[in-house]
Amino acid sequence: MPNILQTNQLTKTIDGRDLVKNVNIHVKRGEIYGFLGPNGAGKTTVMKMITNLWKPTSGSVELFGEKLTKSSYEVLKRMGSMIEFPCFYDHMSGKENLQLHCEYMGYFTPGCVENALEMLGLSEAGEQPVKRYSLGMKQRLGIARAILCKPELLVLDEPTNGLDPAGMKQLRDLFGMLRTEYGITIILSSHMLSEVESIADMIGVIHHGRMRTEISMREISEKNTAYIELTAGDSRKAAYVLTEKLGLDHFRVMDERSIRIYDTRIDTQDISKALAMHEVQLVSISKKSESLEDYFLKLTEEGEKSC
């Protein structure tokens, strides 16, 4: 599959300070890309360069197979974006704001405004002026505006900011729907992994302006399967019990005393019972699981050390 969005050694320096340095992102068509990083890592900076609001100091952005230049305007028709907190013309209603957006984008499909409002649950509030909106409503209106013109690529900077858990859930469902039904590619940033882990296909982690890793969700979950850590008096004896008596084969003898069992369906009690019956000394047994959150923290902490 071709990359719909790609950055090559993207660097932005302002006043001698590298906001982001040598960032390489690869987003394939039709996937949801979670762009993760703690606050101030450079997520917004990268997104501003993707949407051509900021020009890179060096490196380049490739969108739809074309390099972004300072006069790339046509490409903006094919993307929807929401960078930082969305701004509106406060005295106008939500609906009017969206209509204005259509005018500027040159997009005229009847009913698209009503449709977008409905998708974000703003049908009723649509007639009210935006100055009366709450934070979460503005956020949702911003997303409505981003998806209004059925873009091929959706760039959303912290879209769940200011939303309640129900709102977040609703958004996740919406993103999933947009991808499957309209084939929209979505890149969304967040500082919380838990927000994107259920919907993202790919994760890019940025820290202190540098890419830490780019990894598919599948790989992460394979890397981070939970296991049972078992410390026994004699690991070889214990391993024998595990294979012969419990019928387990998915485990690894780490050293003379410890074993990791990757088959987590088995109960720890059954293991300790079996070991006791066969007179294998059991020092400790515990379930371990490295959640994505841990993985994410590990990545960013490594960054901390190297900096």
Partner 1 sequence: MLKLIKLEWKKNNIIKYIRNAVILAVLLCLFIYALAFLGIANDPDGTLDAAEGMNTISAPIELFTSMSFLIFTSVMLASFIVSAYKNKTMNLMFSYPIKRQKILASQMTAVWLFNFAALVITKLFLYASVSIGSRGMQSPFLIDFDMGDLSFYVQLLMKAVVTVSMSFIALFVGMYMKSSKATIIASFILIFLTQANIGDYSLADNRVFPIALTVISFIFAVLSIYNAETKDLL
Lookup: tokens for 243: 């294979």
Residues 157-196 interacting with partner 1 (rule: CB under 8 A): none
# binding residues, partner 1 (CB under 8 A) = 29
**Which residue number, 76 or 246, has a Cβ lying nearer to partner 1?**
76
**Which residue number, 98 or 280, has a Cβ lying nearer to partner 1?**
98
Q: If binding is defined by CB under 8 A, does position 266 make contact with partner 1?
A: no
| Residue 222 CA, distance from chain mean position | 17
Phi and psi angles of residue 296, each rounded to the nearest 5 degrees, phi first:
-65, -45
Q: If binding is defined by CB under 8 A, does position 73 make contact with partner 1?
A: yes
Distance CA 178, CA 9 (A): 30
Out of 66, 103, 234, 244, name the contact with partner 1 by CB under 8 A: 103
CB of 115 to partner 1, least distance (A): 21
Out of 40, 66, 67, 87, name the contact with partner 1 by CB under 8 A: 87
CB-based contact 177:166 (threshold 8 Å) = no
CB under 8 A: which stretch of 97-105, 116-124, 229-237, 271-279 binds partner 1?
97-105
Distance CA 11, CA 133 (A): 37
Q: Hey, CA dihedral for 290, 291, 293, 296, is it positive or negative?
A: positive
In 3D, which of 207, 210, 190 has the Cα closest to residue 198? 190
Distance CA 261, CA 269 (A): 14
In 3D, which of 94, 93, 13 has the Cα closest to residue 49? 13
In 3D, which of 306, 307, 260 has the Cα closest to residue 287? 260
Q: If binding is defined by CB under 8 A, does position 294 make contact with partner 1?
A: no
CB under 8 A: which stretch of 44-52, 132-140, 185-193, 250-258 binds partner 1?
44-52
Q: If binding is defined by CB under 8 A, does position 135 make contact with partner 1?
A: no
Q: If binding is defined by CB under 8 A, does position 16 make contact with partner 1?
A: no
Out of 9, 24, 40, 55, name the contact with partner 1 by CB under 8 A: 55
CB of 200 to partner 1, least distance (A): 24
Out of 1, 15, 74, 265, name the contact with partner 1 by CB under 8 A: 74
CB-based contact 46:35 (threshold 8 Å) = yes
Q: If binding is defined by CB under 8 A, does position 102 make contact with partner 1?
A: no
Q: If binding is defined by CB under 8 A, does position 112 make contact with partner 1?
A: no
CB under 8 A: which stretch of 21-29, 76-84, 233-241, 254-262 binds partner 1?
76-84
CA distances from 223 to 190, 215, 289, 303 (A): 22, 11, 11, 20
Q: If binding is defined by CB under 8 A, does position 127 make contact with partner 1?
A: no
The DSSP element (H or E) to which 218 belongs, if any, is helix 217-223
Binding-site ranges for partner 1 (CB under 8 A): 14, 48, 51-55, 70-71, 73-77, 81, 83-89, 91-92, 100, 103-106
